[in-house]
Amino acid sequence: MRLELGNIFIKNVKFGESTKIEDSILHINKEELLAAVGGDEHIKSIDVELAHPGEEIRITPVKDVIEPRVKVEGPGGIFPGMLSKVDTVGTGRTHALKNIAVVTAGKIVGFQEGIIDMTGPGAEYTPFSKLHNIVVVAEPADGIKQHEHEAAVRTIGLKAAQFLGEFAKNIEPDEVKYYETEPLLESVAKYPDLPKVGYVYMLQTQGLLHDTYVYGVDAKKIVPTLLYPTETMDGAIVSGNCVSACDKNPTYVHQNNSIIEDLYEKHGKEINFVGVIITNENVYLADKERSSNWTAKLTRYLGLDGVIVSQEGFGNPDTDLIMNCKKIENEGIKTVIVTDEYAGRDGASQSLADADAKADAVVTNGNANEVIVLPPMKKIIGSTEYVDVIAGGFDGSLRTDGSIEVEIQAITGATNETGFVKLSSKGY
């Protein structure tokens, strides 16, 4: 399966009389955008605001971040099963608008939503502070249920990204990248001397606003299965969860998965990147056993020599992570896990809720309990009235001068477990 990804680098975003891309600037007619995303009975009002890197703007509570993309050639469309027909995507040509994102915000859905500061110390913890953000602020209708609120805002964000992505369809990209994964037997024959490496992609699926969707299907209903890596680039995986902001995978991260990018970079040179196994994170022990058994079975079935496993979330999913690691290692396959830590504010507590001696190759993306003070901002998009109750906040987090004292757990993308972060770690 081969995908051409055409990247169009946007230098700025402005409101204008018509929606268009001209001289690397995205001009947005607000009324056109609102007409494209509106009409949901669960939403009382929608507005759109812009937030640029370096501006004294705080966006909160953030629900999702999405990159506008469009299918130019090949089957299907962006976000199959959600907005487009359920065709298998990941082939042909896709265009992506780089340096920008659609961010959804507004009245809080669940307490695990985040903060994006466009400048200051908080901006140094989130990769999304470097983007020109089109912020869709959606206020829910009175009396709706949480899951209806989440679903409505999720759909509005995807529609906004789809609408903007369409304007990239007929533009010549600034660069084109090529990604190809051959069928297994062909791949083995092509690179017989390279180690076969796969990626186990753990998806947050614990319900109660902790869901991820694959081709429109709630992933807690699946058993582990195989994807071509390029399917993720066309929006086959969509975020629908409100786990802690620091380590959730927004839809933008699924579209730009750092591990997949890095494995493709080494494919055919140092490794043979065979493909992706998606698996879920479960609540009950029997479901954890089933999914980890299937995951290990698939790694063995593919004849892999090495596996990278990334987690989403923390606490309960630590058990899924360690089960996957232990069982894959028991198949004789070298395994590296990618996670983050909840080691207490002093860094002295146990980092993961579960452990095993076989988990001896670990990449950490930071301690989510680290405390930071975010200075006041001139402008708030959304509302800060929820800061005291979001994950990472506490009674008194929001100070009278508008500054906020929180754990970096509250910052969107601060310790993302695919490595899509600004923090780094050293090996000793």
Q: How far apart are CA 427 and CA 11, in angstroms?
A: 36
| Residue 254: predicted pLDDT | 97
Q: Across the chain, which distance is largest between two alpha carbons, in Å? A: 65
Active site residue 242: yes
DSSP state of 229: G
Decide: 108 and 239 in contact? Cβ < 8 Å: no
The amino acid occupying position 239 is S
57-96 pLDDT, tens digit each: 999 999 999 999 999 999 999 999 999 999 999 999 999 9
Quote the percentage of the chain above a pLDDT of 70: 99
Question: What does the DSSP assignment read for 340-402?
Answer: EE---TTS-S-SSS---TT---EEEEEETT-EEEEPP-SEEEE-STTGGGSBTB-TT-B-TTS
| pLDDT given for residue 421 in this prediction | 83
C-alpha 136/C-alpha 381 separation (Å) is 9
Q: How far apart are the first and last CA of the chain?
A: 39
Report residue 171 CA to chain centroid gap.
26
> Other CB atoms closer than 10 Å to residue 283's CB: what's the count?
14
Distance CA 408, CA 341 (A): 11
Active-site position among 66, 137, 242, 323: 242
Q: Which residues contact 263 (CB under 8 A, 6 or more apart)?
A: 197, 199, 229, 271, 273, 308
Q: What are phi and psi of 159, to 5 degrees?
A: -65, -40
The per-residue pLDDT for 246 is 94
Counting Cα atoms < 13 Å in the Cβ hemisphere of 100 gives 27
The H-or-E segment that residue 75 falls in is none
pLDDT of residue 99: 98
Can you list the residues of the chain whose pLDDT is less than 50?
none
Query: Two tokens at 357?
Result: 């001696």
Residue 12 pLDDT: 98
Contact between 100 and 167 under an 8 Å Cβ cutoff? The reply is no
Q: What span, in angstroms and rounded, lies between the C-alpha atoms of 123 and 26?
A: 23
* Phi and psi at residue 22, to the nearest 5°: -145, 125
Q: What is the pLDDT of residue 105?
A: 95
Task: Give the pLDDT confidence score for residue 354 in this predicted structure.
Answer: 87
Q: What angle do CA 103, 105, 108 make, to 5 degrees?
A: 145
pLDDT at 425: 58
Helix or strand run (H / E) with residue 258? helix 258-266
- 215 is written with which tokens? 């081709």
Q: Return the closest-CA partner of residue 78 out of 2, 5, 138.
A: 5
The three-state secondary structure class of 156 is: helix
Q: What would the two tokens of residue 64 be?
A: 């999702």
pLDDT at 427: 55
Report whether 22 contacts 16 (CB < 8 A): no
